[in-house]
Amino acid sequence: MHYKASQRIEAVRAGKTDTLDLSHLGLTELPNEVFSLPSLRVLNVRNLMLFSNQTMIDLMKESPFEQDPALLTLIEEAEHDLRQDLLVPKQLQTLDARISQLTALETLDLGFNQLTHLPETLSHLPNLRRLLLNDNQLTAVPTSLAQLVRLELLDLTGNPLETKPVLTQLDKYEAYKAHFKQQRSDAFRAKDLDMGVWLFQKEISYGLVL
């Protein structure tokens, strides 16, 4: 197991945090130890942020404040992150059915992996509110996801879905996405650079910009 993954899992086990960030570690599967963390609320296994970083870079370069020192610094940092992401060679291929053991889970971020299917047990997470599955290889999703009554955000963009699932959570996602986009546009038009960049970073963290 990746040493960073081991350290972060141990921090959750010790009760120091209820968030486990395994992103950008090149994991091809979830470590067995993850499934023995009943208090885990946030699990991030996003493996590649290439498109998000590039989108952010492009947007900032189009800003009327492109030469602002603070913005130039942000662009430089984003380009550095993008170069680092290019070094990540591995992604999740499958999602273990034992994911259902994480009953306290509220956020599950599996974006930018190579998942081709999802286990039915994913619908057994009673507290799940945010499920980010963007940019995988899913052609279909279990209809049982409709049982996730607390789910507020479901992101399936960037998947070769053969049919669009009939899930109310997708409509909520589109509404959130439109709202944040409008707020960000208004901020930039008002020349409020700090607010515009902050909103854009929030969009990325919520999986609304890819």
Distance linking the first and last C-alpha atoms of the chain: 29
Written as one letter, the residue type at 168 is T
What's the pLDDT tens digit per position in 117-152? 999 999 999 999 999 998 899 999 998 988 898 888
Q: Is 0.95 surpassed by the pTM of this model?
A: no
Question: 154 pLDDT exceeds 80?
Answer: yes
Structural fold of domain 1-48+88-166? 3.80.10
Question: 110 pLDDT exceeds 80?
Answer: yes
Between 76-90, 94-108, 194-208, the lowest mean confidence (pLDDT) is in 76-90
Whether 141 contacts 156, CB under 8 Å: yes
Question: 41 pLDDT exceeds 90?
Answer: yes
Higher pLDDT, 157 or 59: 157
Question: 17 pLDDT exceeds 70?
Answer: yes
Whether 143 contacts 121, CB under 8 Å: no
